[in-house]
Amino acid sequence: MLENNLAFAQKLDGADPLHGMRNQFHIPRHQGHDEIYLCGNSLGLQPKRTADYVDELLKDWQQMGVKGHFAAKHSWLPYHEFLTEASAQLVGALPQEVICMNSLTVNLHLLMVSFYRPSKERYKILIEDHAFPSDHYAVESQLRFHGLDPKEALVLAKPRAGEDCLRQEDLVELIKREGKQLALVLLPGVQYYTGEVLDMAAISEAGHAVGATVGFDLAHAVGNIVLNLHDWNVDFAAWCSYKYLNSGPGSVAGAFVHEKHLGQTLPRFHGWWGQNKSIRFQMGPEFDPIPTAEAWQLSNPPILSLAAVRASLDTFMAAGGMHPLRKKSLELTGYLRWLLEQELGDAIHVLTPYEPRRHGAQLSLTVKLHGQSAKQVQQKLEDQGVTCDFREPNVMRAAPAPLYNSFEDVWRFVQILKKTAQG
């Protein structure tokens, strides 16, 4: 049975096998105390090993110059390969299916070059209504690039009237209805605004059944929920690494291409880092793509940023990967939701679905506190050492990340929120 008191929260922390992972992160401070940081869905905290990994590169650059490409402890030339195995584990992929490169929207564009090939009969793209703006912009620009009008070629999946989240049966029905004209289904693994987890396996199956290609934006899913992209038969996916992956602001993103597409002749924008490694430095004019997801690379990557990604991935591996983290995440969010119901009742409405399979670490809250908006409440919380975030028009997102957040964090957050609600 759950209890609403500090001693119980501390008891849960004492029994948590992952509680020590918190010590591997730098926690921001507020008036001499650790912040209650519930914003890992926007920017994850810095692992303590990050500085060592980046400093190693800086010293090698300082002492070796260009020779660091081959002679550094972690040579720069193959540096992205040091991230492959852990990245594959986090997204449920084969090593040859993943690559760390570019930024999220760049990767989505590069992948759509290959996987959005409209014809006269099949040309529509399905995304969700209220998609993350960058995704919406990218898809509309792809449609226009192919001479199509988004008003005719863009299909929006919407919640039912009066509801906050998408229903799986409605998504499948929409895919079936648009089937003959549907070229691409591009949806999030976790919807950024509501925190809803979509059934990616079922969506992939439904899309393929009507002849469409299926891709996912995993910005809010990777490092948050257990993924099995290969087994789900997803065609492609892309993600950023600075949210739950804790790799630093604007850090290098990732991409997935299913094994069934590797080695095929696909439309693709080429660059020299996608060239066959055995002949790359012969500098010839003919392009021979690497037979893995690495073929989608364009330029040699920013090594300093990759070092931060490697530090984060090593931290995930030290925690045992996603399965134990997901278990703790469900316990944290379950306790948070229960406390909100106990302390604030109808003053808080949780948009995020209740069922564990349908939510990740994030709970999206609408606030009805004596005329205060969610934005006003979020600012007052920040003044008291609580960091969460706000999204227009009236949603506050709180995301206890299992790598560094505690049950005490969750309990104290709700107590401060209650105090703020009472003015």
Q: Residues in the chain with pLDDT < 70?
A: 423
Q: In what order do the strands lie in the sheet with 389-391?
A: 348-350, 363-367, 395-398, 389-391
* Count of all residues that appear for the chain in the document: 423
Q: Give DSSP secondary structure letters for 210-241.
A: TT-EEEEE-TTTTTTS---TTTTT-SEEEE-S
Domain boundaries, the chain: 6-34+321-421, 54-318
338-393 pLDDT, tens digit per residue, is 999 999 999 899 999 999 999 999 999 998 777 788 888 889 999 999 999 999 88
Does the domain at residues 6-34+321-421 carry the CATH identifier 3.40.50.2000? no
Collapsed DSSP state (helix, strand, coil) of residue 44: coil
Alpha-carbon span 299 to 272, nearest angstrom: 6
Confirm whether 6-34+321-421 and 54-318 share one CATH topology: no
Neighbours of 205 (CB within 10 A): 15
Reported as a single tens digit per residue, the pLDDT across 21-54 is 999 999 999 999 999 999 999 999 999 999 999 9
pLDDT at res. 218: 98
> Strand, coil or helix: what is 344?
helix
The β-bridge relationship of strands 395-398 and 363-367 is antiparallel
Longest dimension (CA), the chain: 70
The DSSP string of 139-206 is: HHHHHHHTT--HHHHEEEE-PPTT-SS--HHHHHHHHHHTGGGEEEEEEESB-TTT-BBP-HHHHHHH
What are the tokens at 41? 């869905």
Distance CA 94, CA 89 (A): 8
pLDDT score recorded for residue 423: 67
Q: Percent helix, strand and coil across the chain, each rounded to 5?
A: 45, 15, 40
- Write out the CATH class of domain 54-318: alpha beta
Query: Residue 37, Cα to own-chain centre: how many angstroms?
Result: 18
Q: How far apart are CA 193 and CA 290, in angstroms?
A: 37
pLDDT at position 275: 96
**Chain position carrying tokens 């030339």:** 77
Candidates 35, 58, 401; CA nearest to 242 is 401
DSSP 349: E
Quote the CA–CA distance of 45 and 249 in Å, as a whole number: 10
How many CA atoms, within 13 angstroms, populate the side-chain half-sphere of residue 135? 27
- Give the CA distances from residue 17 to residues 92, 102, 201, 334, 413, in Å, rounded to whole numbers and listed in that order: 23, 35, 30, 18, 22
Report whether 255 contacts 296 (CB < 8 A): yes
Q: How far apart are CA 186 and CA 321, in angstroms?
A: 26
pLDDT, position 88: 98
